[in-house]
Each structure stands twice: as structure tokens, then as C-alpha cells.
Amino acid sequence: MIGIQVVAAGSKVAKLKLRKGNSSAHNVMNGDNSDGDLSRMNSSVCLPSIAEVERDPSCVSFTTFNILAPIYKRIDPQNPGLRESDFRSLWLARNERILDSLLSESPSIMCLQEFWVGNEELVHMYEERLGDAGYHLFKLARTNNRGDGLLTAVHKEYLRVVNYRELLLNDFGDRVAQLLHIQSVSPFLKNQKGGFHQEFLMVNTHLLFPHDSSFCIVRLHQVYQILQYVELYQRENRLKPMPIILCGDWNGSKRGHVYKFLTSQGFVSSYDIASQYTDSYADSNKQWISHRNHRGNICGVDFIWLCNPNQARKPLKTSWAEAVFSMLKYQLRKASLSEDNAFAFLKGDHCVDSVTYFSFSEALRKVKLFDAPYGLCFQQLQDLWNQADVDGNGVIDYEEFKLKIWNSTCPEHVLENLIGSIEDTNTDQEQETIGFKVNNAMLSPHEVEKGLWPEDYSLSDHARLSAVFSPARMRCCVTKL
């Protein structure tokens, strides 16, 4: 279906500036709270902006912002072919304002999407202004000369970029991702044994827009490939457990399959942690937004995800299979099929009591998850089958269907055994490491935090999301890689 190409861009070294959040506001995450029971206990708390808080060299601040490439910005509803890129004065002025807003906040790391890499003048403007402000820039164009891409800017004072990798997903959306391995230059959290150097991995990406429901499987696979490569990078470089931060425009909400897939991998939304929102249905419908799309819909799609090294994580392939089975169940229920009828649908027209591999593949073909443009490939179909055929006897019986497809869950004792683990590794011993706690997170303009899109906002069709993390000691399992 979709190939992946990884480009090693050398061991570019940089430092980055750190800022402090409000350490008293919105607390540390304790374990995997993807099914947590927090509520927004104090919605009246007024948090300072990222730029207003006191500096602290042990904290790291992130900003993610889809800046709307001029080649996509429509300027006349009656003439959708007319774009801002046709008018230099318009895109130049808007991007100057974008830079002003970013530099006024001065986060440690900026992750920008829809950066117009195809225009040399705009690229030079960002390189000059961000470079003069002390940032080291990493640019990555989407494949097939789409014109836009990603820009990650790292401030060069207290951290260095140990390594930088480019991921070319080679899908029909020509999506890409950047992976940076970052380490603090100076140790902190000192004790009698010395200090710790904070290390973390971070990704900047922009997922495919879900033009219709058939694109969901592609978006899920994009995230799957990114996490696969993060695991591969950790394994090949024999890295100790460390935090992972994913930044970008995910083009999906808290109710989507990608969100559920990431939470099953131990990731939490920094904004939701800071706002004390849960993954409950009630909280998922609370209307913070970050995007007004070309259809005029408002939605929350921009995230800064955090996964700490002590988080419970299912094996990646298991989480991916559960997410695909969730999509399958959604399609079956959308067709008003009950549990029994869904099992009959998977069995097909054959007079048997179990689902065969052939009938399974035919059912996935009918719901356009397999053998469709950009659907599952044969190897992925086989991976799903292996997950569903629990006893390996070559068929899926009714109990296996209920367990793996219709009522798929992961018992708590299983999650406990997966804490700190990486798929196909053996636990060695427990050690102290450094993770992150969420000090603060905010969206700008502030109206979007209440689900309102201000009509006078013109920087982009996305809001800017920022988060401040501070280091926190934690214990986790060291694995043999």
C-alpha cells in the first residue's frame, strides 16, 4: 500500500532556548490516563501566555502552527482558483505577522506545517528572521513537488540536536515527517551522583485531510509508520527510555481512530492535560477548536502529544490492529448490523460456523478497507488475520470475533506488564529516568479555547498551539534491545 523512505540528514548540532511555564498550574501525568477520570475542575483558572511566564533553563516550550501556505489560501469565495500566492504583497504581509507572533512568544521549538518551501523569497525571510533570533532551521518539502512542507526551528542556547531524520511516507498525499533527537547541553536535577542530561525525541508532521471516510485507513497508517520508525530509531541507537513528543496538524479530532490509536500507545494531549479534560465522551465534545477548514467547519485537529518513558504501551502492531478492527466495527454498525449479523457478514455466503481467511478478506474488501485505492495491502491483511485468529487454527470462531473485533479491549493486568516495553524486547531492570510533566498549554487566539472562531483572525486557518514541559524524575523498565 504505502512505502516509507527514511533520509538521514546528518548529525546536525544545535542548541535551543528554554522557557518556563506556570509550574503550579495543571499537574503531572501519573501513568496512562487515556481512560482517566479527571474533569475540568477549575475552568476559571487564567493561565499566563507562554511569553509571560518566568524563564527556567530546565523547561522546554513547543509551538505547533499550520501557517496556511499561500498556494492554498483562497482569497475570493466566488473564484476558488484565485490564491494568495498570486499576490506578493498579501502573502508577504501575512507571513511577516506570523513571524512577529512566533517571535513574540519565542518558544524553544517551533513546528510549522504548510511552510511554502517552493518560494525562495519566503524561505529566505524565515531563515533570516528566525536565524537572527537564534534558531536553527530544519526544512522538509512534501514529495512530488507539492510546494509546501514542514519547518522545525530549534533555539540554539541550551539544547543540541543529536540527530535529525526525514521520513518520506510515499503515500498518495505525499506526506512527510521530521524526527529530531534532542539533548540538553547542561545537566540539571543534580544530586549526589551528578546531574541528568534531558533527552527526548520529537516529531513534526501533517497528516492527510480526511476528504471522506475511506481516507481514515490512510491516516492511521501514516501514524503507524511514524511510530514504527520512532521505535526503529530507538532500537538501532540502543536508546534509554525517554519522552516522545509528536507535534503537528493531525487533521482529526478526539473522537477519531488516530486519537484512540495514539492514546493506546501511551500518548496524551498536552492541551487536554493542562485543561484537565479527559477522553470521556462528555469531554471529547467540549468545543475547543484549532481549525476552520475550507468547508467552513470548525474542529480541533492540532496537537502536541506527550508519551513519557513510564507510560503503559501496548505492542505497536496490536494497537494498530485494534484501530483497524475499530474501523471495521464502525462500518458494520453504520450498516445497522448487530453482533450476530456482523459475524454472519464476515463469514460470507459459506455454510460454515467460522470466518475463513477468504471470507475475512472479502468482507474487508466490501467495506473498502482492503484491495481499494490506498487500502490495506496483503501483508497488513495477514497481520490483522494473525491478530484475530487467536488460537492459530486457521479460522476465526465466534468467541475470537467477539474478543478481537467486536469487543476488543486490553485488560489492565496486560497494560501493567507492558509498562516501559517496546515490542519484541525483554525487560532487564528498572532505572530512574527523566520524563516531562505538562506545566501549561494554550491556544491562540484565546476564543478558540471556547469553541469560537474569531472573524477578525487572519494569520491562518489554524490557531497556534503552545505547551510548556518541565523535567520530572520517574522510574521505568530498561529493556534489552
Residue range 433-476, pLDDT digits in tens:
889 999 999 999 999 999 999 999 999 999 999 999 999 888 87
Residue 340's contacts (CB-CB under 8 Å, 6 or more residues apart) are none
What Cα–Cα distance (Å) separates residue 85 from each residue in 70, 88, 139, 463? Answer: 5, 7, 20, 21
Is the pTM above the cut of 0.85? Answer: no
78-105 mean pLDDT: 95
Assign 129 a pLDDT band (cuts: 50, 70, 90): very high
Secondary structure class of 464 (helix, strand, coil): strand
Other Cβ atoms closer than 10 A to 253:
18
Tens of pLDDT, residue by residue over 13-56, are 333 333 333 333 333 333 333 333 333 333 333 444 555 444 57
Assign 374 a pLDDT band (cuts: 50, 70, 90): confident
Q: Does the pLDDT value for residue 120 go beyond 60?
A: yes
Q: Are 139 and 123 in contact (CB under 8 A)?
A: yes
Share of the chain above pLDDT 90, in %: 57
**Termini Cα distance of the chain:** 29
Tens of pLDDT, residue by residue over 188-209, are 655 545 667 789 999 999 999 8
Q: What is the pLDDT of residue 20?
A: 32
Q: What is the pLDDT of residue 116?
A: 98
- 170 against 61, higher pLDDT: 61
Q: Does the pLDDT value for residue 84 go beyond 70?
A: yes
Domains in the chain, CATH or no CATH each: 5-314+429-480 (3.60.10.10), 335-409 (1.10.238.10)
In this structure, the strands spanning 244-249 and 302-307 are antiparallel
Name the CA radius of gyration of the chain, rounded.
Answer: 23
Calpha distance 234→242 (Å, rounded)? 9
Question: Rounded to 5 degrees, what angle do the CA atoms 331, 335, 340 make?
Answer: 90
Assign 215 a pLDDT band (cuts: 50, 70, 90): confident
263-284 mean pLDDT: 83
Tens of pLDDT, residue by residue over 159-196, are 789 999 999 998 878 999 999 999 887 776 555 456 67
Report the mean per-residue pLDDT for the chain.
82
Q: Does the pLDDT value for residue 422 go beyond 60?
A: no
